[in-house]
Amino acid sequence: MHPTWPDSNTFWRDKRVIVTGGSGFLGSVVVRKLQERGAAAVIVPRKQEYDLRNLDAIRRLLEDSRGPGGAAVDVIIHLAANVGGIGANRARPAEFFYDNLMMGAQLIHESWRAGVGKFVAIGTVCAYPKFAPIPFREDDLWNGYPEETNAPYGLAKKMMLVQGEAYRAQYGFNTIFLLPVNLYGPADNFDLETSHVIPALIRKCIEASERSDHRLVVWGDGSPTREFLYVDDAAEGILLASERYNDPAPVNLGSSFEISIRDLVETIVRLTGFEGEVVWDTSKPNGQPRRKLDVSRALETFGFRSTTSFEDGLRATIAWFRSHRDALPVRQER
């Protein structure tokens, strides 16, 4: 460990932390890791009580979360987002833009006003230009327009980077901006209307096997490539950045492992035991041609490196779905 980096357990021992989206897929792992590190208080706002699109709710949350003597929260990790796959983004682009923009812009502003010590903004790989050079380097973030199907969501999240830099320059407010690649893992969203590619494929393969289907239809032609980061690794990266990183420059969080959608499908088919034919529906969009991050800045500035192999992560995700599927929503036919 770098000699100037704080010890994780010591760092969090006296910290009051708000984790927005803390009951969600990534957030629940971040909360668990904060508790394991001995954080003094971890506050998880629920949407029904604190709708973060609403200014009054944000102000109430920050007031309700104050510590002894009215002390402001030490760290906010902003994970809450309205997210979805290609289909959801195509169907509801205005909703994805508005909800994410309002949450981020108002929460950063009110956190500064309330005296919050540090704001950790979580962006998205969807913010990168559609044809950014591979691997995506943080310095290329502004060299083009994002892939169209995800652009409203990606740009709304990207505004937190602009706002954070502005508030740091004018007010000295300590904000950082992290760019995780596509996440996956146990407790992911397996709702076929809104899920991302890995949980959707896992569910489709398992259910197709159980029905003895002879074919499985998959969107696109399989040519795009993606990088995926296991959820526990992503949570660790976020906490290491929270502890050790205090600069305005954005930082990628990834695994350095790139795989084509075709190879991804073949791997999930093998691991789930589906024995039918895979049919590629080329009338459906592929999305961004390639996604792979340069992760050197995260390693250099706060020592983060992913540790979970892709196949191990897939096996854990498949096992979780098999053991929890009875509690999940009924499959929606498309």
The pLDDT assigned to 333 comes to 41
pLDDT band at residue 329 under the 50/70/90 scheme: low
List beta partners, residue 185: none
Question: Of 252 and 334, which is predicted with more confidence?
Answer: 252
Question: What is the C-alpha separation between 131 and 155, in angstroms, rounded?
Answer: 15
pLDDT band at residue 223 under the 50/70/90 scheme: very high
What tokens does 14 get?
A: 């006296």
| Res 56 pLDDT > 70 | yes
pLDDT band at residue 1 under the 50/70/90 scheme: low
Hey, what domains does the chain have and what are their CATH numbers?
Answer: 8-184+228-256+292-308 (3.40.50.720)
Task: State which of 82-86, 122-126, 146-150 shows the largest mean pLDDT.
Answer: 122-126
Question: What is the C-alpha separation between 174 and 170, in angstroms, rounded?
Answer: 11
Interval 255-294: pLDDT, tens: 999 999 999 999 999 999 999 999 999 998 887 788 899 9
Catalytic: which of 98, 128, 145, 153? 153
The 10 Å Cβ neighbour count of residue 256 is: 16
Beta strands in the chain (DSSP E): 16-20, 41-43, 75-78, 118-122, 175-180, 182-184, 215-219, 225-230, 251-253, 258-260, 277-281
| Res 332 pLDDT > 50 | no
Contacts of 13-16 spanning 24+ positions with Cβ under 8 A: 13/38, 13/39, 13/40, 14/40, 14/74, 15/39, 15/40, 15/41, 15/74, 15/75, 16/40, 16/41, 16/43, 16/65, 16/67, 16/71, 16/73, 16/74, 16/75
pTM summary value: 0.92
Question: What is the C-alpha separation between 195 and 199, in angstroms, rounded?
Answer: 6
φ, ψ for residue 136, nearest 5 deg: -65, 120
Interval 293-311: pLDDT, tens: 999 999 999 999 999 999 9
List beta partners, residue 149: none
List all residues 6 or more positions away from 249 whose beta carbon is below 8 Å from its beta carbon. 138, 297
pLDDT band at residue 195 under the 50/70/90 scheme: confident
What tokens does 244 get?
A: 């050790």
Query: What percent of the chain shows pLDDT beyond 90?
Result: 83
Question: What is the C-alpha separation between 86 and 83, in angstroms, rounded?
Answer: 10
245 is a catalytic site residue: no
| Res 3 pLDDT > 80 | no
| Res 193 pLDDT > 80 | no
